[in-house]
Structure 1
Amino acid sequence: MTSDPRISRDHSARPEQWRANVVEHHRLRHDLAVVRLIGEYVPFTAGQSVEVEVPQFPGMRRRFSPALPPSLDGKLEFHIRTVAGGWCSAGIVADTVAGDQWKLAAPQGMFSVDPDGDEVVMIAGGTGLAPLRSQILELARHEYPPTTYLFFGGFSPRDLYAADMLVLLAADLPWLTVVPVVERLDDPSWPDKWHESHRVDIGFDEEDLIEGTLAEVVGSYGSFDRHQVLVCGSPAMTRSTVERLLDAGTPAERIQFEGA
C-alpha cells in the first residue's frame, strides 16, 4: 500500500496547545464579561492575540487578546464582548463558569511598544483596551518606561467598563495618563442590570470626560510625529481613527493598528 503524499504524517507540525482553567467570570455589562484563568504558561508577547477554544463550543476557535502580559504563573485575563451574529462570543459572555477549561494556541501579531523608544499614544475603543492594557503592564516592568497616553473611548460613560481599574492604574504609574472619551455624556435610558449590579466608587469624574468620537478627539491634538501610536477597536473605529491620524500629519510608519 502506498501512502497518499497529500496527507502529512509530521505530527510536530501541529500547533502547540496549552490549557487553563477559568477561576473568575465577571459579567460587567449585558454584552461584556471579564474572564480570568490560571493554567499552563502561554508564550505570547504583550499585544498579541491567541487562539481560544472553550468547552461550550468544542472544535470552534476564536482569537482574543490577553489583557495581561505573559506570566510564568499562568495567569490570563480576557475581555469578551458579544458581537452581532457572534453566538460564540455571546456564549462565552453568558455561559462561562469557574472550572471551565480553555485550550489556547497560536499566539500571533506584531502589536508592540519599544520600551526604550519615543512617547506612546494608545487609542482603545471598547475591548480594544485588552492588548493595550497588557502592554502598559509590560512597560511597568521596565525601570524607565516612556511617557504613555491612553485614550479610552465608548459610546456613553457606562461603556467605559474598566474605569475603576484605569483610574487606579494611572494613580500607580506616574508616566501614564488616561483620557476617557465618550460620544455622548449621558447613558442610554434603558437599564443594564449588570452595570447596575457592578457599580463602583472609583471611576472617571464627569468633568474628565471628553465628548466626541475617538477619531475626532485624537485628531484634535494634531500630528503625533514623534510618538509610537497604537490603535485597537472595532474595524470602523480603527479605520476612522487611523484616517484622522494620517490627515492630522501623523506619519503612517508611526501607526500600528488592529481591529478588536
Structure 2
Amino acid sequence: MFKKLFAKKAARKVTLQSGITFEVGRNETVLEAALKAGIAYPHDCTVGTCGSCRSRLLQGKVDAITPFGYTLSREELQAGYILACQAVPESDLVVDVPLEAGEVRKVAARIVEQRVLTHDIRCVTWETDGVIEYRAGQYMNIDWPGAPAPRSYSFSSAPAEGGRTRLSAFIRRVPGGAFTDALFADTLDDAAFTIEAPHGTFWLREGTGPIILIGGGSGLSPLMSVLEDAVQKRVGRNAILLFGGRTERDLYCMDEIAAIRAQWPTQFDFRPVLSEEQTSHHRFGLVTAEVTTALTDLGDPASTQAYLCGPPGMIDAGVAALVAAGVSLANIFYDKFTDASTGAKQAGEN
C-alpha cells in the first residue's frame, strides 16, 4: 500500500498537433518541459498573465497552478484553451499551439534615434551589431546594464529580406517604469543594450477573407509592421483598422496609415475611436464597441481574421465582441500588452 502511495508518478507525454512529442515530469508544467526539450514554445511572462503560451487542449486533462480564467476569456475557456505555463498534466495530452518562427539571436545594440509620436509614446530605434530576421508582428526582448529584467517590445516596421540591423518599436511611458522613466529622461542614449529576437506568434495568417485589426496605445506597433508588410506583399484582402485613444492627442501615425490606405489594393478603412473626447470627425466610445459595425461593413464574419494588440481589458472585450458577431475563435489572434507590475509582456513597459 505504502509502496503504491509513494511511488514516483510516470512522466506524461505531450503531443503537439504538428507531430512533435515531449515528456513532462512530475510537478512540471507543459511549458517548462517543452523549453527543456528545446521546443520553441511561445511564452513570455511564465507566470500566467500575458497569455503568450495560450494553447488549445485537444485531448487529456491538466491541473492549473493558477486558474486560467485570470487571463483567458470565457470564450477561450469554453473552447478548451489553457496556459501552458500554468498547466500540469494529469494524463497524456494532445495540444494545438503555433510554435515561434525564426532563429533566435542575441546581438549588441545602441539607441540611435528617438522620435516623439504622442505625449507618452516614442518610436525608438536601435542599431545592432548583427542582423535580425523576424516576421511582421513579432517582438524582441531588450536588456541593458542594471535592468531588473528584460523588456519586450514589438517591431514597428516591416521585415526586410535578409534581416535588419536597425530595429524600431513604439514605446509608451509608464510612470515608475524601470526602463521607460530612464528612456524618456534621455539617460539611456549611450547604454549598451542586448537584443534577443525574434519572439512571438503574432503574424498575419494565410487566408482570403477580410481582416479586422484592433489596437490601443503602443499596440499600434505590431499592427503597423503587419500592415506595412502586407502592402509590400500586395495582400488583396479587405481590411479595417480600429484604433482606440482617450483624446485626439493619443492618435499617431496618421500620415503613415494614410499612405497604407492609398497603397492597399482592395478596401482599407481606418477608424480612430476616442473614449474621453467628442469631436465632429472621430467616433466616440470604446473601440471594441465598433467591432460589430466594422464586421458588418467587411461583410463576412465567418471568414474574417482578427488581430488585436493592446491592454488586457481591450483584448478581452474585443474577443467577446468578435465571437458574438460570428468570428471564429480560431481566427482571432492577439498580443496583450501589460505593465511591469504584472510581470508580463511589456510593449510599453511593459
Bin of the TM-score, shorter chain as denominator length: 0.7 to 0.9
Deviations 1:190-232 (A, max 9, x none): xxxxxxxxxxxxxxxx654111111111134457222111111
**Alpha-carbon separation, structure 2, partners of 1:35 and 1:117:** 34
Q: Which residue, out of 217, 223, 226, partners 2:303?
A: 226
Q: CA deviation at 1:124?
A: 0.7
Contact 1:42 1:70 in 2 (8 A): no
- Pairing partner for 1:136 from 205, 227, 239: 227
Of the three residues 171, 174, 189, the one matched with 1:80 is 171
Q: How does 1:27-176 map to 2 (within 5 A)?
A: 27-39=116-128, 40-55=130-145, 57-58=146-147, 60-71=149-160, 72-83=163-174, 85-95=176-186, 98=189, 100-114=191-205, 116-175=207-266, 176=268
Question: How far apart, in 1, do the equivalents of 2:336 and 2:281 lie?
Answer: 26
Shift of 1:142: 1.3
Residue 134 of structure 1 deviates from its aligned partner by: 0.5
Deviation at 1:20, TM superposition (A): 2.9
- The gaps in structure 2 that reach 5 residues or longer are 1-37, 39-103, 338-350
Give unpaired runs (5+ residues) of structure 1.
Answer: 1-12, 187-205
Question: Does residue 214 of structure 1 match 2:287?
Answer: yes
Partner of 1:74, secondary structure, is strand
TM-score (norm. length: structure 2): 0.59
| 1:198 corresponding residue in structure 2 | none
Larger radius of gyration: 2
Q: 1:93 to 1:218 in 2, by over 3 A?
A: farther
Deviation at 1:173, TM superposition (A): 3.0
- For 1:98 and 1:164, the matched residues in 2 are separated by 27
Equivalences for residues 215-254 of structure 1 within 5 A: 215-221=288-294, 224-254=301-331
Q: Deviations over 1:121-173 (max 9, x none)?
A: 11111111111111111112214432222111111111112223222332333
Tell me if structure 2 keeps the 8 A contact 1:81–1:93.
Answer: no
* Distance in 1, Cα, partners of 2:205 & 2:254: 26
Q: Give the distance between the partners of 2:148 and 2:210, measured in 1 at CA.
A: 42
- TM-score (structure 1 length as normaliser): 0.77
- CA distance in 1: counterparts of 2:236 and 2:167, whole angstroms: 23
- How many residues end up aligned between the 2 structures? 227
Q: Give 2:346's aligned residue.
A: none
| Letter aligned with residue 114 of structure 1 | R
The amino acid across from 2:286 in the alignment is T
* Structure 1 counterpart SS, 2:170: strand
Alpha carbons of 1:51 and 1:208: their partners in 2 closer, same or farther (altered >3 Å)? Answer: same
Distance 1:44 1:222, change over 3 A: closer
